[in-house]
Chains A and B, each alone.
Chain A
Amino acid sequence: MLSLNNWRTRQALIAYGLLLPAIAYFATYFFYPIVVELWASFYRGAPLIGEARFAGFDNYVQAITDERVRRALWITLVYAVGTTACTLVVALGLAAILAGPVRANNMIRAIIFFPYIISFVIVALMWKSLLDPYTGILNSILFMFGLEGQNWLGTPQTALPTMIAITVWKDVGYAMLIYVAAIQGVPQTLYEAASLDGATRRQAFFSITLPLLAPTTLFLAVISMISHLQDLSAPYLLTNGGPANATRLFSLHVYEAAFVELNIGYASALSFLMFIVILAITFIQFRFLGRKVSYA
């Protein structure tokens, strides 16, 4: 027993030793800056840079009572949920096809995946010129078919859906690949059994494949939500939050509070609010979609 205890202690010590670089790294580059920002969040003005005075919880009170903050949170939620849901549905549809026998399968997968690895700077550049209401190619094509073009990113009603569509375009390839792998991992015997029971292919897909994809869906939903709840590049590069604040995501709101309004203290408070929101949403996803992915 003693030797087992000894062994345990030894292994723990080795583990801590191996973790030392990570502890140093995360302490230096994550937790120290976060503590500094936490300190700044209790100051009014421009702590760290210029003038500031201690203000207790004033920044947090202002953040919670500000109607624009609530609006930004709501838009962010719509954007993140919309992007995630559309990405997963489209990806699943494509994966259902590409998991089967299809010609040029590898090439098609590679092409659809490619936008995922491209910088949003380029994505924004391309789509803004394609969607330009007056000189863009999309409206010209619509015009050729006798349809009326839209000011896609310039009308409050269409701006957010357009931004979601562009993000889905970029993300869908990754989710598709993960789904293809998951579908191909479903044991053949299950389909054979279903086929003997007289199930059609569609029935088999909905009754066998889909439920087995739940862990994959959870994984994809969590990483997509975490990254899009804090998305800055899409609104910053595509619309700057406009028109009429229709695409003003929370991150952009925080970024502008800090770097445009020079309201560093308030921006810090907003970021902690955001941290709590993301944490809560991630937690809810696990609760609702089930703890099927081994996560911790």
Chain B
Amino acid sequence: MRGFLKGFAVAAMIGAGGSAAQAETLTVYWNAGHAWDAYQAVIDKFEADNPGWTVQWEKFQWPDMRTKLIADFAVGNTPDLSAEPGGWVQEFAQQGLLKPLDEYVARDGEAMGYPGDWQDFSVNRNMVDGSYYGVQLHLTCATLVYNVDMLKEAGFDAPPKTWEEFRQIAIATTKPGRFGFAPNPVPAYYWPWMFQAGATYFDPEAKQVVFDSPEAAKGLQFIADLIHKDKAAPLPVTGADYEGPQKLFTAGRAAMIITGPWDVTPIRTGNPNLNWAIAPSLTDTAQATLAGGVSMMIPAAARHPDQAWDLLQRFVALETELAASVANGMTMPRKSWAASPEVQADPTLNSFGQCLPYARDITADLRLTGKSARVEELLKSAVDDVVYNNRPAAEVLAQYAAEANKALAE
């Protein structure tokens, strides 16, 4: 039966002229929002340096890319190199789906400055059991972004530094049709508050989540109260997209949001006249915020891993990082990038760059349990329950943490 179909397939392919894969094609998956000129230039250069090679640069939205990759893994028809939004490296590596990069790093690490020139946690979050499986491409952190004019109008010349100042400003800038602060529906955005209150997500020693601490409850409750008691923030707009707060901010209908470098371009193009600025993250008991960003990985089934590694190195070269970051407002993982005069001279990049040292990867340790997706989903339910249903944070977090620990103990 299948033989028959196979025969038919061959016949049909010959009939249709076929689409036989060229032997020398390097397939690369990328986020559609990151198809920047600087990266196109890297690809052009790679093709020029390697005659006969073509780079098949395929762009997707993250959830679509994930679905496609999972199907690809099932048949071993993977790209040679793929970007990922953070977390997939460890997850897929644990499933044995990625190629360890240790040999490459041993050979080329010194010349390219890996891992020495990368911000430390950006290296760790791409490792499993002491092996390298991914290399950080973009390193981002989210911090407070504010509308300078709205704060002035309400009598504040400087952005808030503490929670209390933040709350006062949020209340003072709230007017009909306008909010002091626009929160995001994605749970990750509640972590800056929980971190600042002194909470942590996961205890790697005990292999348990600890987001049922009073500190975590305090952070989450603070935002819930801002929405429900102070009425200084709207309920976040649901959906898988992150753009709600940015849209309100760009439209001049929110005085403050928490966001990262990815929103720089939309704000600038959306409303060129907006007078806005970036502030350091707030401090309650600690100054902290969340870190994230894109990494690159080479699947175990890649047909041309050597060429993929070559291209990967070119994507993270300092000149490429600088070209990509200055044009698009993206922050990068190299320490030498942060120290470069170009970055120092760019107020936007510099402001976000300054948050990197105290930014934290929320789930790095949790991901090594292989159950982070399940736990993340429970945390999302908990956050939703507090934010949308206005239930007490302490009670809800305790309930969901218990459930998460049950799943982790399984």
Contacts and interface: CB of A to CB of B under 8 A. Distances in A.
Tell me, yes or no, whether A and B come into direct contact in the complex with CB atoms closer than 8 A.
yes
A151 B389 contact: no
A55 to B, nearest CB: 11
Interface string A22-47: 00100110000000000000000010
A24 B5 CA distance: 10
Interface string B91-126: 110111100000000000000000000000000000
Nearest to A46: B95
Contacts of A28: 1-2, 5
A282 interface: no
B279 interface: no
Interface string B48-69: 0000000000000000001100
Contacts of B251: 134-135
A147 interface: no
Nearest to B182: A134
A139 to B, nearest CB: 10
Interface in B245-299: 247-248, 251, 253
A132 interface: yes
B91 A244 contact: no
Main secondary structure of the interface of B (DSSP, over half): helix
Interface size, B (range):
35 or more
Contact of A261 (B2, B235, B377, B381): B377
B70 A132 contact: no
B388 A27 contact: no
Interface in B32-78: 66-67, 70, 73-74
B78 to A, nearest CB: 11
Main secondary structure of the interface of A (DSSP, over half): loop
Contacts of B237: 132-134, 151, 153-154
Nearest to B68: A259
B20 interface: no
A28 B70 CA distance: 22
Contacts of B253: 134-135
Contacts of A256: 377
B384 interface: yes
B214 interface: no
Contact of A51 (B2, B96, B381): B96
Given A27-B1, A49-B70, A151 B95 contact: no
Interface in A110-167: 128, 132-135, 151, 153-156, 159
Most buried by A among B74, B238, B240, B385: B238
Interface in B210-253: 234-240, 247-248, 251, 253
B238 to A, nearest CB: 4
A128 B247 CA distance: 13
Contact of B70 (A153, A155, A262): A262
A134 B2 CA distance: 55
A260 B240 CA distance: 13
Interface stretch (A190-198, A202-210, A222-230, A235-243): A235-243
A188 B212 CA distance: 71
A155 B91 CA distance: 33
B79 interface: no
A240 B238 contact: yes
B234 A50 contact: no
A142 to B, nearest CB: 13
A243 B95 contact: no
A240 B239 contact: yes
A265 B74 CA distance: 14
B373 A260 contact: yes
B384 A50 contact: no
A261 B373 contact: yes
A181 interface: no
Interface of A: 24, 27-28, 46, 48-51, 128, 132-135, 151, 153-156, 159, 238-240, 242-246, 256, 258-263
22 contacts: A24-B1, A27-B1, A28-B2, A49-B70, A50-B95, A50-B96, A50-B97, A133-B237, A134-B248, A135-B247, A154-B236, A154-B388, A243-B236, A245-B381, A256-B377, A258-B70, A259-B66, A260-B66, A260-B373, A260-B377, A261-B377, A262-B70
